[in-house]
Amino acid sequence: MWGDAPPTPEHANYDATAVHAPTAVGCFPQGQAACGALDLAGNVWEWTCTLHRPTPNASPELSPQSDFAPEQQPIIRGGAFNWSHEYLHNQQHYWFSAAQRRNLVGFRLVQVDHADAPTDNHKGA
């Protein structure tokens, strides 16, 4: 974890690493998040389910979508292998057309071990 300090090429895949391509998860263990997740910053921009609304000086509306039309622009976050370190945090966002296919945009899959999943203690009543 690098905290408030700028990242180094040991923390994440971004323009300073000079890899020029996406890398496998786990290649940058020094960038591990406090929760243990790897590669939350850099590598590829991650699609979100929030639609970009090009309104001047306005933050995006947080209205999750289940699908996007090709002409719509979902928000992406986290930076990518060919972008500078200023984009390697979740408050920075950008957008791409939903119809574009690029190797610098992707999505995250999370596997939850059901033995570790929270239980519903509010059953019945």
| Total domains present in the chain | 1
Domain assignment of residue 1, given as a range: 1-55+64-116
Whether 95 is in a domain gets the answer yes
Q: What is the pLDDT of residues 54-95, one digit of tens each?
A: 666 656 556 667 777 878 888 888 889 999 998 887 677 888
Q: Which amino acid, residue 111?
A: Q
Q: How far apart are CA 17 and CA 116, in angstroms?
A: 35
Whether 122 is in a domain gets the answer no
Query: Domain holding 84: CATH number?
Result: 3.90.1580.10
Following DSSP, what letter does each residue of the chain receive, concatenated? --TTSPP-TTT--SGGG---S---TTS-GGG--TTS----SSSSEEEEEEE----TT-PPP--B-S---TT--EEEES--TTS-GGG-STT-EEE--TT---TTEE-------TTTSPP------
Whether 124 is in a domain gets the answer no
Whether 68 is in a domain gets the answer yes
Whether 8 is in a domain gets the answer yes
Whether 77 is in a domain gets the answer yes
How sure is the predictor about 120, in pLDDT bands with cuts at 50, 70 and 90? Answer: low
Whether 22 is in a domain gets the answer yes
Q: What is the pLDDT of residues 3-43, one digit of tens each?
A: 778 889 999 999 999 999 999 989 999 988 888 888 888 89
The reported pTM is 0.72
Q: How far apart are CA 63 and CA 71, in angstroms?
A: 17
Whether 123 is in a domain gets the answer no
